[in-house]
Structure 1
Amino acid sequence: MNQEQLSKVTEGQGFIAALDQSGGSTPKALKLYGVEESAYSNDAEMFDQVHAMRNRIVASPAFNGKRVLGAILFEMTMDRQFEGQDAATYLWNTKQVVPFLKIDKGLADEADGVQLMKPIGGLDALLARAVSKGIFGTKMRSVINSANQKGIDAVLDQQFEVGQQIFAAGLVPIIEPEVNIKAVDKKEAEEILKAGFIKRLDALTGDVKVMLKLTLPEVDGFFQELVDHPRVVRVVALSGGYVRDEANARLARNKGVIASFSRALTEGLSFQQTDAEFNAALDKSIEGIYQASIA
């Protein structure tokens, strides 16, 4: 594990950019960027289009380690290049941005009010490849749709089991049990989730540490105990469907939590913009998210 990167993620001021849209979410991300589905005819062309978008973001002068602590990559992105360098190498060596990798394979069907992760085949090989590529940590997402104790326990048990495997491979896992912002009992789900987190964090042994990626809570400051927990490297927040201004406002009211936004980061960016327009729009987006993260 790179100690300089660990120090940056633990103590640095800024946020984590989520550039990890995968097969299911890519067409929507491209459409918001102004690239219609008619612009590509198959998955390979689609992923070429989204990689060009990501390359434009990370190569922008607005994007660097002064405000962006880390970036989460899709597996295919890890295997590609930014500006002629391997993606993770470019992020760290050129931009001083810590590289993370999305490792989950999507969501299973809902049961007990939650969606677990689908089985992650070949995980050990993927983790070994990530280490060899210079990746620092990983991200994996489950979804909680209601305040169901059995379901939330199942989500946390799965996340922590895989998280220990990731840490043993030399990477820092980001555990992400997203609470659906449309859940009618969102506040109650967050209460069950926090209690379950504390129980499992307290039970960790050895030198295991994790990061947490959480939906912005209904009660401001509700995750402070997780922010302060000695087993937690950092608590980051997903935008979860809130527009950027709303996500930033909620984030600013939760001290110690920093952003890990995807759609909210790219809101307002367009394929049709000139580089000057694009860089100005990205700079405005990054500055707003940065200020909310350090509030």
Structure 2
Amino acid sequence: MTENEMAVRIAADGFIAALDQSGGSTPGALRAYGIPDTAYGDEGEMFALMHAMRVRIMTSPAFTGGKVMGTILFEGTMDGSAMGRPVPTYLWQERGIVPFLKVDKGLAPQEDGVSLMKPMPDLDALLRRAVGLGVFGTKMRSVISAPSDHGIAAVVEQQFEVAERIAAHGLMPIIEPEVSITSLDKPGAEAILLAELTRRLDALPEGRRVMLKLTLPEVTDLYAPLTRHPRVARVVALSGGYTRDEACARLAANHGMVASFSRALTEGLTADMSDEAFDAALAAAIDQIYAASVNKLR
């Protein structure tokens, strides 16, 4: 019953908050939050500070299912607690927000213009734990830096192969082949990616659906056909390093896409803010991102 309710929520208005910074991106996220590298001595202390930041966001009065339909969690956050309850339980039962889990282990070295995902030898055990904690779906990220036909085909193939393993556990896969905003030919890479995604989606068996997390494209509405594809449950957009203002402007122009922002969501939030200032700033960010997700330019 809960799984069906979560599926209904994901199909409705709102956006997905990405609170899944991993080991490589956590120091930068903490610096942006006003916590320097000298504030922690080891990885455990670093992740504890990051978890405290995430809990502050998740327990803010502004962070509710009215506008935030889902949240992507780092593994350590999924295993942690908020207000004395397991984080996935708190998000769904107290906030009406659908929990997702980041499952990739980072990127392999770049080759042929792309960075594939590193091996995930413990994936099935992680997925079983996620199911037990009430997680609805997963997310995994690759990066595309150049318009390489062979490289992009390899990215998409790997993503869909892992998505099959995820779906076998009853979870909804979010496939994220990010096109870098610094690519020297971003439109060219995006055109190849669209063709590869369409080919693999067309080959999915009836009844199988995935979600897509894509970089906001240079050609407006490039991915609109994917938002209408029968094998796609939702297309969400990553902010990819754009400021919140630019990411929202681009998002509002792309019909059918909703946000799944990380840096653009937490932009301007700092550890030394009072609770009142923090909640007000977060509320303003949520309002802006929600508006760009649901109120599209004609």
TM over 0.5: yes
SS at match of 1:229: coil
1:153-192 alignment to 2 at 5 Å?
A: 153-192=153-192
Q: Give the Cα–Cα distance (whole angstroms) in 2 for the partners of residues 182 and 29 of structure 1.
A: 20
Q: Compute the TM-score of the two structures, normalised by the length of structure 1.
A: 0.99
Shift of 1:277: 0.3
Q: Which residue pairs with 2:7 in the alignment?
A: 6
Match of 2:141 in 1: 141
Q: Deviations over 1:203-244 (max 9, x none)?
A: 001421100000000011110110000100000000000000
Is 1:278 aligned to residue 284 of structure 2?
A: no
Deviation, 1:168, is: 1.0
Shift in Å, 1:122: 1.1
Amino acid aligned to 2:188: E
Query: TM-score w.r.t. structure 2 length?
Result: 0.98
CA drift of 1:38 comes to 1.1
Q: Deviations over 1:11-59 (max 9, x none)?
A: x111000000010000100000001111111111111100000000000
Say which SS state the counterpart of residue 260 (structure 1) adopts: strand
Match of 1:113 in 2: 113
Does the alignment pair 1:260 with 2:266?
no
Aligned to 2:47: 47
| Corresponding letter in the other structure for 1:204 | L
CA contact (8 A) 1:17 1:261 kept: yes
Matched residues in 2 for 1:68 and 1:121: separation? Answer: 32
Report what 1:19 is aligned to.
19
* Matching of residues 100-249 of structure 1 within 5 Å: 100-249=100-249
Identity of aligned residues (%): 59
- What residue identity is the alignment partner of 1:166? I
* C-alpha distance in structure 1 between counterparts of 2:277 and 2:173, whole Å: 36
Stretches of structure 1 that go unaligned for 5 or more consecutive residues are none
Task: Say if 1:14 and 1:66, in contact at 8 Å, map to a contact too.
Answer: yes
Structure-2 residue corresponding to 1:289: 289
The corresponding residue for 1:35 is 35
Structure-1 separation of matches of 2:105 and 2:160 = 17
- Counterpart residue type for residue 29 of structure 2: A
Q: Is the 1:237–1:257 Cα contact (8 Å) retained in structure 2?
A: yes
Whether the aligned pair in 2 keeps the contact of 1:164 and 1:208 (CA below 8 Å) is no
Separation in 2 of the partners of 1:173 and 1:212?
Answer: 8
1:187 is paired with a residue whose SS is: helix
**C-alpha RMSD of matched pairs (Å):** 0.7
Cα pair 1:221 1:253 within 8 Å, conserved: yes
Deviation of residue 187 (structure 1)?
A: 0.3
SS at the partner of 1:241?
coil
Q: Deviations over 1:127-181 (max 9, x none)?
A: 1110000000000000000000000000000000000110111000000000000
- The amino acid that maps onto 2:8 is S
| Counterpart residue type for residue 189 of structure 1 | A
1:79 matched to which residue of 2? Answer: 79
- Which structure 2 segments of 5+ residues have no match? none
1:121 positional shift: 1.2
Please list every run of at least 4 consecutive aligned residues from structure 1 whose deviation after the TM superposition is greater than 6 angstroms. Answer: none
Task: State the distance in 1 between where 2:206 and 2:131 align.
Answer: 21
